Structure 1
């Protein structure tokens, strides 16, 4: 059985950023590859922030990424792609000095609609409806369980 097809071009992507850590985090960087957004500048501890990225109706896509500083040198990366093809998400937790958006975009294109990563003492879980034209991106960062 084939996967369901989309009913039309992407309209928007609603992004929910859920901070389940004891650290407030602030936005370090953002990118809108396709579409426009105004994400929050911070996500307080134990709270969720929401924003919408409007799709570019000419190109038919809503794609973007965010980087938050979690604990001085730890960065939480969240990226999404809402296109005429399958919707995808990508996440990583890193101490890299520079976020290379070209590499993040390449990894996003090879990703799926549900990604989970544990690194640097944190666990990131991100998902998106793979076929919706107005999907929610649910991104959660929490303390990683002790090994």
Structure 2
């Protein structure tokens, strides 16, 4: 992908997209998405996560999920509306975008899109597409549960 700051790679062999309305303000959802070290507390598929600096364009953070150690770089960020990150992991080049759209004072439409490319993806696109699709749906579900939890 030549320009990852432009969004996901829509020409990649695997692209997945999901959206869900969460009954919480965009700022609350944004707080969960951008507090990388707290991800394992609400996203059980993530084993560990760390960010040495606040998330800003160019910042890198590290996390582990599905036996993959991932180093992601923030490509673009417009708080509390959009965050785009990505990077390589075991031959897969991923780009992941989250978009938050306020639906009133206490509801947010969350859209998540991700593209994957690379030799492992091209070798088994159908199965990898299903795995990515399932992963995004689960991540959104966990985000909804965490954001809507009474405080």
Name the structure, 1 or 2, with higher relative contact order (CA <8 Å, separation 6+): 2
- What TM-score does the superposition give when structure 2 sets the normalisation length? 0.38
- What TM-score does the superposition give when structure 1 sets the normalisation length? 0.39
Bigger fraction of residues in helix: 2
